[in-house]
Structure 1
């Protein structure tokens, strides 16, 4: 897949990417790799310049003159990436999970619609875009889902921490998974303890990797000094991008 994922469109790479003919006003859905969760629509209009407009905390609309190629739009997005990130973070709207039939939950960066079925035995099954929840009543959906999320968090967090243990040649003695209001993680380097926020299981794995690495580097550098950030950059060169995305996800999950 190239820079853009065109939905319902046909790519024409000649001349700098797909172009729209005058008169075709069908909006296109696009994908921008540096901000994978961002929903982008492109519409061609009788205007002179490319216009970007933030519609919500995760939605961007692009208006472009007829005849402008995708490569030109790509260039504008990269040039204004920091502006886009700043505007997204400033947008007041939040979206939280809804634990009800037809509601929505997030798991490892994906959104799932809740499909509830009454049953005396609680269970969870993930399908594409859907989480099937069986419980005695709809009021028990939240408890069943959160118990499942905690089990998933233990599995994924231990896997990620294990990878960093091998990379950093250090050993963790204890992992705690907690609900934390203001922190994504914490640690006790002397005892080898790591605490991670349960809500991280809702986010893409790359953000769990970032938080885990951040806490484990404290085993080597207690303070957020130049040595700490030098090691962060050595082990994860794009850690600043992941940090920004983490903030955006906090706004998304509410």
Structure 2
């Protein structure tokens, strides 16, 4: 991939059929990339990167300091999170169907599995439980916040995402929520729901978008800071654009 060296920054350059320059700092390694219109001179790219140097360095520093994912083996004694609270995992054997038992008072999460179950199988059981819990909460939450934001209630779906907490397909009127949100405090889930709903008003993260966030969800910055401080269980995380 073509590159420019701007001061001590190595900037990847991708030229494509677009109208404006787009700058991205990647969570993995703090890589810097500029997508540029086909005929943009290098001087214009250099000027833009230098003008946003402080922004680039801020995000590189944040990515470096971010909480790294812990390698989990799904064995007894590990800490697993649900709605922002840590629970001690207990792995017990059952001859029946695998299932999960959450005991808030004891702060334990019991994973009932068959003898000889693999780490992958245990992961699937726990993720299926997280998915069901998220499915229980989302209908009322999406309905409530759609009314607050003033948009028709969209379709929604859940998936495991490596780089984003949520996405919005404006043309399809559908929002996607990351399964990992079930491990975070409820106000973080609400922030992502509202964030994606606001995209039905405004596609871009511009002044109008953040003004709408201020109107509908005052104090949203705390949830955003908390989510930005977390790596999404992979070397890549939410990138800065």
Identify the residue that residue 152 of structure 1 maps to in structure 2.
133
Note the residue ranges of structure 1 that are not aligned, 5 or more in a row.
1-85
The root-mean-square deviation of aligned C-alpha atoms, in Å, is 2.3
Give yes or no for contact 2:162–2:233 (8 Å, CA) kept in 1: no
* Structure 1 residue 126 corresponds to structure 2 residue 107: no
Residues 131 and 192 of structure 1, relative CA distance in 2, 3 Å threshold: same
Aligned pairs, number: 168
Pairing partner for 1:110 from 66, 82, 85 = 85
1:135-176 Cα distance to aligned partner (Å, 9 max, x none): 113423222111111111212233321220121232234211
Give yes or no for contact 2:168–2:174 (8 Å, CA) kept in 1: yes
Higher relative CO (Cα under 8 Å, sequence separation at least 6) belongs to 2
SS of match in other structure, 2:132: helix
Identify the residue that residue 179 of structure 2 maps to in structure 1.
198
Alignment of 1:19-98 (within 5 A): 90=65, 94-98=69-73
Could you tell me how far 1:218 is from its partner in structure 2?
0.6
Residues 252 and 181 of structure 1, relative CA distance in 2, 3 Å threshold: closer
Residues 219 and 247 of structure 1, relative CA distance in 2, 3 Å threshold: same
SS of match in other structure, 1:186: strand
Could you tell me how far 1:111 is from its partner in structure 2?
0.8
Residues 89 and 247 of structure 1, relative CA distance in 2, 3 Å threshold: farther
SS of match in other structure, 1:147: helix
Question: Which stretch of the first structure deviates more once superposed, 199-208 or 133-142?
Answer: 133-142
Q: TM-score, length-normalised on structure 2?
A: 0.63
